[in-house]
Amino acid sequence: MYSFDGAGLDVDFHLLSPKGETLVFDQRKSDGVHTVETEDGDYMFCFDNTFSTISEKVIFFELILDNMGEEGGQDREDWKKYVAGTDLLDMKLEDILESINSVKARLSKSVQIQTLLRAFEARDRNIQESNFDRVNFWSMVNLGVMVVVSAVQVYMLKSLFEDKRKSRT
Q: What is the pLDDT of residue 8?
A: 58
Q: What is the pLDDT of residue 37?
A: 80
Q: What is the pLDDT of residue 81?
A: 52
> Which percentage of the chain shows pLDDT scores above 90?
20
**3-class SS of residue 165:** coil
In DSSP notation, 112-139 reads HHHHHHHHHHHHHHHHHHHHHHHHHHHH
The domain spans of the chain are 1-63, 68-169
Q: What is the pLDDT of residue 155?
A: 94
For the chain, the average pLDDT equals: 78
Q: What is the pLDDT of residue 147?
A: 97
Q: What is the pLDDT of residue 42?
A: 85
Low-confidence ranges of the chain (pLDDT < 50): 1, 4, 69, 72, 79, 84-85
**Which amino acid is it at 6?**
G
d(CA 106, CA 104): 5
Cα 118–Cα 119–Cα 124 angle in degrees, nearest 5? 95
Torsion angle of C-alpha atoms 34, 39, 44, 46, degrees rounded to 10? -10
Cα 11–Cα 16–Cα 20 angle in degrees, nearest 5? 140
